Amino acid sequence: MQPASQTAAGPEIRAARLSLTVAVGLLGIKMLAYVLTDSAAILSDALESIINVVAAAFAVFSVSVAATPPDKRHPYGHGNVEYYAAGIEGLLILLASVAIVWESWGKILHPEPLPNLGAGLLLLLAASGVNLWLGLLLLRQGRKSGSLTLEADGRHVLTDVWTSGGVLIALALVMMTGWLWLDGAIACLVGANIAWTGVGLIRQSVAGFMNESDPALLSSLCDLLRERRHPSWIDIHRLRAFKSGRAVHVDLHLILPRDMTLAEAHEQVDAMEKILADHLGPEADVMIHADPCADDCCPVCDAEPCDLRSRPAEDSPQWSPATTGEPVRGD
């Protein structure tokens, strides 16, 4: 079964464009707060916002490309572009963390007064509120559409919120205690925190390029097929599934009674494909290969009557990622 033709991902693209617009505005606010206060902590927050702008620009590009229908050169679609975007964003975050630590270390050793700190904190608080709203919006839209890029962008924006929260608390302590070295110290912690986020995004990007197995996806498919199992579906094996952007690709081998006609086997394959496609959505790409049963399939076969049975049925197959991933009965 071929995936349905992809149309322009309207909601996803609008969300990405909104993210870019808001990121540019918030960067301006944070840079103004830094100019007012000369705070290394606020500068670290502003540097992360520069990455937000770059990431949002990548999101607009990659979501648009991922929505392009498959063509002759890209028969599996263009969804993998989202892994490029997530990987580049992770690398940029790592570079930003190095710049933040480099800039803030001197502020720990040689702390300086922070003018206009109250005004700077108010600007940072307002920017954090907007970022919280935007991050939750992107995360919700990304999960709804299966867009890795929007999810990555949403998580990064929310990381920025927690970063800003830590900066606000630390600078409030500076105001109350006069411990100016806290400004540089919190900036270093910000750098370490966003470095961890960057590593996570790079890890996720590499996993996508390598078509890494998704245990949660495989488990959900096994549960679905077990619940909807037809008596003639003797067993399944070589179950594989991976995500490419919003699309999900699934292929498996279905063991059917060997005395079935070709038309009957095709009917059962179509029935299983429809169940999987309805579960995964219109962009699912499902391929099922029908195999004839062998004598060692009899213990898990409850298809009756059967003139070919050599052994009595003992139990239904317990389909799980562990039992369906390798060639077993019928090969």
Amino acid at 322: A
| Predicted structure pTM score | 0.56
List, in order of start, the domains of the chain with CATH numbers: 10-209 (1.20.1510.10), 215-324 (3.30.70.1350)
Torsion (CA) 128, 131, 132, 136 in degrees, nearest 10: -170
Give residues with Cβ within 8 angstroms of 193, minimum separation 6: 159, 162, 163, 166
Q: What's the CA gap between 69 and 3, in Å, rounded?
A: 10
Evaluate the CA torsion angle 278, 279, 285, 289 in order and state its sign.
negative
Mean pLDDT computed over 267-293: 90
Report pLDDT digits (tens) over 172-186. 888 888 888 888 888
DSSP letter string, 12-72:
HHHHHHHHHHHHHHHHHHHHHHHHHH--HHHHHHHHHHHHHHHHHHHHHHHHHHHTSPP-S
Mean pLDDT computed over 145-150: 72
Q: What is the DSSP letter of 94?
A: H
Local confidence band at 326 (pLDDT 50, 70, 90 cut-offs): low
Asked if residue 145 has pLDDT above 60, the reply is yes
Report pLDDT digits (tens) over 97-132. 888 888 778 778 878 888 898 899 999 999 999 999
Report pLDDT digits (tens) over 3-57. 443 444 577 778 888 888 998 999 999 999 999 998 888 888 887 787 778 777 8
Residue 263 · residue 243 · CB < 8 Å: no
